[in-house]
Amino acid sequence: MASHKVKRVLVIENGKLVGVVARADLMRALLKALPDTQSASTDDEKIRQGVIAGLAKQPWSGLVQVDLHLGIVDLSGIIFDEHAREAARVLAENVPGVRLVTDQLAWVEPISGVYLAAAPATDI
């Protein structure tokens, strides 16, 4: 509507005019349909704190960081045991509100110091 400079559209049903829809009407409807970003960010912070609290109870989690957006948890940092990767993922998945967990954890073998970078992120 904006690109064609149309401000209002007639709504016709069975050949009869039943209403008029303005751009402002569409914008109001779209805003109502969008999630409330303030409550989404508040929910994200609660979920993030839940994941962090769960990780804090684990002796291996000191270098695991948690980012979260719209229910998607991104785990990053360093682990020293490959089993910690799966444990961190399962722990995060079990926090209410988590929709998906992405793994950006790097593994460092503690004796030799061999470092394996996190796998490249894949598109969701």
Q: What is the mean pLDDT of residues 72-79?
A: 91
Mean pLDDT lowest among 40-44, 69-73, 90-94, 120-124:
120-124
Q: What is the pLDDT of residue 38?
A: 52
55: Cβ contacts below 8 Å, ≥ 6 apart: 61, 64, 66, 88, 91
Which value, to the nearest 10 degrees, does the dihedral of the CA atoms of residues 77, 55, 81, 64 take?
A: 10
Domains of the chain: 1-34 (no CATH), 37-116 (3.30.1340.30)
